[in-house]
Amino acid sequence: MKRVFLDTNILLDYGLDRELADYAGSILELGRRGLIELTASYLSFANMGYILRHHPIDEIYQLIRMMRQPVEVLPCNAAQLDAGLITGVKDFEDVMQYQCAKEAGCDVIITNNKKDFQSFCDIPFLTSEEFLVQFDFDN
């Protein structure tokens, strides 16, 4: 089974009902159905709570609980931080996401911000739409 890492922007697409929310919802549904193994970092959920802080607190908790159900939450640790500090990559949050996905043995990173991963990522990374187009629904 494919081990899939969700970047924060995928969770936010769904949570904020942004333009690509349907793709994110389809990916979450694949996880709920057990067709893929979904992962995301603890940092993503923390960032999501912060970004949504102006919404009613009950809505934030309900949304995070619902999204959390099919997702294995991966820890962030000092080794990931130290490895990220060595890179000098422009978007520090993205390099932290990558370090988390790499340590967890993820097969692919799904992000709708591919340009920031191009300079350092050795794990395949796809947009949510690309992932769904390439996903083999028969296996």
Q: pLDDT, tens digit, for every residue of 92-113? A: 888 889 989 999 999 999 999 8
User: Is the confidence at residue 84, as pLDDT, over 90?
Assistant: no
Q: Are 109 and 98 in contact (CB under 8 A)?
A: yes
| DSSP assigned state of 75 | P
Can you tell me the distance from the alpha carbon of 76 to that of 80, in angstroms, rounded to the nearest whole number? Answer: 7
Backbone angles phi, psi at 39, to 5 degrees: -135, 155
Q: CB-based contacts of 7: which residues, under 8 Å, 6+ apart?
A: 40, 44, 94, 97, 109, 110, 111, 112, 113
- According to the model, what pLDDT value does residue 118 have? 81
User: Is the confidence at residue 137, as pLDDT, over 70?
Assistant: no
- According to the model, what pLDDT value does residue 94 have? 86
Can you tell me the distance from the alpha carbon of 5 to that of 107, in angstroms, rounded to the nearest whole number? Answer: 8
Q: What average pLDDT is seen over the chain?
A: 90
Average pLDDT, stretch 20-25? 95
Domain 3-134, CATH class in plain words: alpha beta
